[in-house]
Structure 1
Amino acid sequence: MKILAISLQNVRRFVDPVQIGGFGSGLNVLAAPNEHGKSTFFDALHAVFFVSHRSFDKVIKTLTPNVGGDPQVTVEFEADGARWKLEKCWSSAASRKDAKLWRDGNLVAQKSEAEDVLSGLLKPPSDGGPAGLLWVRQGVVDLESGGDEQKARRDIMTSVAGEVEAMTGGRRMETALAKCSEFLGQHLTATGKSAQNGGLKKCEVEVQGLHLRRDELAEDVRKLQGDLDRRRQVRRELEMLEAPEAHEERHQALERAVSGLRDAEEHDRKVQSGQDKLGRLEAQAEKADAKMAGLRNALREAEQAEEKASDTGKTVAQARGQRDEAQSLLDAAQTGFDEAVHLEEASAANLRLAHRVDRERSASKQRKTLGNRIETAEGLIKTLEKQQKALVAEVSTAVLQTLETLASDLSVATRSRDSAAASFAITYDEKSGGKVWRDGQVVQDGQRHVVTGQVHLDLDGIGRLEMSPPSDVDDRLVREAETALAKALAAAGVETLAAARGSHERFLKAEADLRVTQADLRAVAPGGIGALRDEFSELPPPVEVSGDVPDLQEAEQAETEARKKREAGSVVLEAARTKAQALREVLTRAEALAETAQERLTRAKAALAGYDNPAALLQTMETDAEGLVQEIAEARAVFEALKGNAPDLAAARAAEKRARSVVVSVEEKANALREERAGLDSRIAVVSSAAVEEELALVEEQLTDAQERLDRIRFDIAVYQRLDRALRAARDSARENYVAAVHKELVPLLRMIWPDAEPVIDAETGLITAITRRGKQEDFGVLSGGTQEQISLLVRLAFARILATDGRPAPVILDDAIVYTDDDRIEQMFNALTRQAEDLQIIVFSCRQRAFLGLGGTTLSISRNEDAA
């Protein structure tokens, strides 16, 4: 693209139409004094290309004249082999907003359509184009402008390599990468897992759900088939159980078993009667034997009890004598033991008194030591409280850091304002002797003074000079920074930053003193002063002792001897007590045996008291017993005969029980089978009505489709991941080629100023991070403002050459872009501009008329439209 002419109307001070025409292909220079309108044309040219006619933002508002009116800009330019004319009018009223575009004298588009055609021609930074890189305003020294220009620089990085351009379409690479990221972001998280609510996750959930439903339906079908098979088996079993001939056969068998049981039970009753008679006779015989045995035993027991009573009487008398002798020995042993206990108690009391006196002596020393530590800790706590109050009164580190940051913000805002503001400097003639005065002070020779407000200078021998700041100087950020700093200083309780730094030094000293005091307090009272006081209160109170205090060692020895004597007496006492107890137990047992023998004798005599002649009675009973034995023998013979002919009652009962159980069990089984058949019929009807087999076939078909969709998504993800890796590899290659291209274009320009200069370029950002001169590498940020400004301009000239080589030429437009360059180096910058202007259009606006006479090129001027005509 090449600019041919530009016209303004109602733009800042240019209310009437003005224009700049006659732009050439190479260097174009407009050198005019300040306030001539160069920056106005620069801003208008930028606005007409890159600000929509529909906008009325702060950029357009700065173009509006003070007297009002709608800014209008017209520019003529060549692009794509045609001559174009663009006219834009911005307004706060929608009806007056307008944009028109002519091609070779023919109107081709208006309003929004004109903006669209223009965007296609220029590719502004908002659409990925590079044009924004090549506009350099006053005082621009930063290579990293960010925003749209940073995007445009990335666009150059993807386009400089021909092979990458051919493969990906340059800017299409960034679009493809964005689409890859967009597609992968729809399905995957940053860690490569399925994204929640993403297409992959939804498809996975669907497949999983269909798998579960298919398994459920398959289980239902399997159960249905099992129920059908079981129902057929139940029907066969019922037919077999309900057959008439089988039913008749079971009931006849039951009747036969019942008749056999009745016959067996009748014969069993006869056997039982014979057994009962035999039992009664045997019981009578047993009772007669028992009476005879009882009488014999009573006679024998009476004789033995008499003998036992005589023997136990003698044993009791002997045991009583031994018991009395042992009791006398026990009484003597008890008296000796009691005397030993009294002696031990007196010795123990004497020893306790000795120990208490000894502990009091130790506690007195502890009481004094703890009292001193408590007194010291209380003093340290008071000191600590004073230090904490002193610490609060000073400026802390965090507050000082805030003040330093606000001061830095004020400095940056001031420098930014000063760089955009007008300035002046005085160079005195030593012969004249005159001085320039400002506010009663001599203005220093050679010092630059910024004009941010009304300035009054008194000139010796001449008079007063008044200067006003430019109307577009914005002092708002400086005032805001000053206000913020003043508020922060007031909140901190200081008047100046220096006072804050001094207060902070006192804060640091007070903080150090506080830490020392805290350490001393921890050393004196590790657990706190409360723990010391608790320890002091837990000490035993002082003991008052009257009379002589026993010696501790003598008291311990006396207590030991008394204890040994008591222990020896305890052994003797225990032995005597054990012997006396044993003999008492012997006497008790002997007395118990004697009492038992006497009771036995009494019972034996009582048992015989009911018989007049026990011996004669015993003989009669023996004769009756012999007759009873004969009668028992006859009854046993009858019983054995009945028992030998008896049928098997248990077998008859088992047969009857079995026959009856067969009938009952068959009926119960038939009932159970009928209930099972009804349940099976019900389940089969329910499942059949649900058409599970048809639903299973449908779900399997859906599962197949869902699995295919999932496989396709996974395949697409793999493809996009592979494409993303390939594109990024290609972009890395393009960056390497970009660095090589920038290096190739930039080195000759740098060496026109610094013969041995070598740039260091960051392949990621496309920016110069450092420069090597005279064998020493210097970071870009530490270079002087003039050097940064020169490198910034040379980098943009290199970019312009790259764009031209890439088939996208764009003009380089400079607005007082070399304000920090000295007279010697500006000549070298002119050479660099002239070198690049061989195949580029470079437009230079400058207020340095004398200096830029040496630049050459096409001279431009601002004229009224009627003058130009």
Structure 2
Amino acid sequence: MKLQRLRVEQFRQFRQGLELDSLKPGINLIHGPNESGKSTLVRAIRAAFFERYRSKSAEDLAPWGDSSAAPTVELVFEHNGQRWQLDKRFLKRHRCDLLIDSASFSGEEAEEKLAELLGYQFPKKGASKEEHWGIPGLLWVEQGTGQDIEKAVLHAGGHLKSALNSLVGEVASSGGDEIIQAVEQQRKELLTSTGRPRGDYLDLANARHTLQEQVAELQSRVEQYKAQVDRLGSLAAEHEQANRDRPWEEARRGMLRAEEKYREVEALQEKQARGQDALKQLQQNLALLQQSRAHWQNQNEQLELRYQTYKKAKKQLEQEELASPELAKTVEAARNQYQQAADAVQQAHLRDKRERLQKDCARLEAELSKLKQSQEKAREIQASLESFRKIKSDNIIDVNVLRKLKQNQRELDDANIRIQTIATRVTWNLNPGKDLTLNGESIEGHGEKLLLEPGLLEIPGFGSLGIQPGGDDLASLRRQLERLQQMVSQQLATLAVESVEAAEQKLARLQEAEAQVQRFDELLKSLAPNGADHLNSMKQEVEDELQARSAELKAMAVDWNTADTRPLSHVEADLKQAETRLAEAESRQRNHETELLKLRHTCDAAHREWQRMKDELNNPERQQQMEKLTGDITAVEKQQAELETALKEREARISEARPELLKQDIERYRATAEQQEKAQQKRALELSEIRAKLEAWGAEGLEEQHNEKAAELEHVSRRYLELDRRAKALDLLLNLLKEKRQALTRRLQAPLQKHLDHYLTVLFPEANLEVDENLMPGKFSRGSELGQMAELSFGAREQMGLISRLAYADLLQEAGRPTLIILDDTLVHSDADRLEGMKRILFDAANRHQILLFTCHPEKWQDLGVEPRDLKALKLQGDAG
């Protein structure tokens, strides 16, 4: 199939119509920017084939906002040496005409012919969808869908298998399918698709499982019954023995003996605690007495230390007083140096201020000169601006009225052309000296005239002929002509011009004036952004500031010849150093004075402390207190020794009794008595429960129930095993049949795999892409890499999708089916190397198929060896036509 011409009119953005003709048998590269209509042309081809011409779901084909449009698509293509021409119109005056050489078809018959040729279906109602598109849905790739191939293959699967059948003949026979379907049907009666039981097989499996559980439960209960009988005998003997021995009473007697011994030890412990408290009080009293004696003995030593501290403080004070005069001289010298440095800094600041004022005056003079120039230039620009504003006001014109005037003028010209075409044209060629009368006007020689109204041609000597021009259309066209002439005259008067050309010249003068006004206005704003008044104000401010700076400079009466000429930074550094030296000298003086005060205070305090302690030690009462303190210490030491001896003897008795073990014995005997009583109670309770349980189980007849369920289980198991063997046999048979069928399927896949490998090795020399039994591309391998096609990157899936589509096209062509490949902005995610390989693949496929390649990146396809078609240029040609 080779598409030769495509024309669309009133189709979305193509209101005036666009024609794409002289299409080549190989690659046709059509390019244009976004929104230029590439996807619209693809949609037109799809609508021509897929949409019913009577469909009410085709509203999206009409131009936006035009409810009266009748979208039209015309296609001419060649197939098997026959010329096919399709004319299809939607919405308004819908129709469908198909011409195959000299045979014509229309309406639904024509649509069915196309569907049969290309291999697709029409929907029963509503708009055409992806599941109806068949082979074209596989080969015609919409923008952004190149990587999605699974659904397209699924919807085209029947047509692809039909093409394979025509290639491999009896290998694709469906005779084996009936056997497989019969086995599958019988298998479905017993197994689900996942191999799980169903129906009678499932019911028997569930019954068998339930019976197995019941038999196991009954067997367990029988064994439990026997075990409980044995347990009853041993438990009864244990209970009788415990009632005779009553071991818990002996444990309680042992607990009472241990409690009595523990109370005796507690009495000794309390007495020992009181003795230890008394010992602590004696030890505290003795320690206080010894501290007092040590304190009094230490005071004699402290007296000598106080005297030595006083002598040392007095010596330090005398040494510090000798340094005071020298520190005072150092501070005075530092003050003099600081004052000299401060005077030098002040002179340097005045010198810098003078230089700054001189620079400010120079800057202000330059700025004043610049402002004066700007004022003069602004006055010139203002004059030019007023001149062009005058031109603008003289040429004001209503653009909307002009646009309507031009439209009406074009319609008037078209009406004149149409009226000249359909008006009655009278021509004459008379012999010399002969004349006729047409509508009362004499005519002679040769000439012609257009008649828009009825006319009368008088022939002297013969009579007259009535001439009636063209009918209702001419009258309507004449009225339209008069209406347009009147509208054009009114609009010319409104615009105050004599012709359309004069109006356009006036508009050009207006636009030129507006541009000049804008330019001079921008120039004026660049010179005086805030207006001429603000510029004058700025000039006055600069003049005032210049005058003030000049006056301030003159007022600086300093003898600059005798002033210090060093830089300000240098004199400030000297001032900082002088200030540092002065601060250090003053700090040392303050620290010296502070130290003198501290030394005087320390010396006086040491003298007072030495004198006070000396007087206190020479007091007679102190000797009597020392003698009494010595006697008290001796008496307390004797009491402490006696108490310590008694405590040691009592502690030995307590340790020998082991009170912690006595306490443990009490807890052990108590726990033993409680445990033995609880064990006896538990044995009695368990005896009662076992007797009741054995009575109940004996009444149920457990062994009889077990035997009945075991017999029932054996019967169900035999029936289950029969169905189980049948299900496994059917499953095995179905697998064997499918394996044989898969071998046949692989023979079916061989032609498609051949074409797929042909293209794939161009892009990936060592790769392999397998197709499944539904002819769907699936497993992709390359060297050690292995995975599904869906797991590849977006760009790689897009490339694999296009390669697969080209292989399907080769398969269809080999089977004698028509092919047309349409690619709308495909391979946009391919890198440079992969794109180069895909170009080789497309160029190779173009030797066998026609390819319509639509793109907004023509620079990427300029090395395809074909002449690109610029859609934008085609649209301009259509508008001009």
Give the TM-score of the pair, scaled to structure 1. 0.44
Give the TM-score of the pair, scaled to structure 2. 0.44
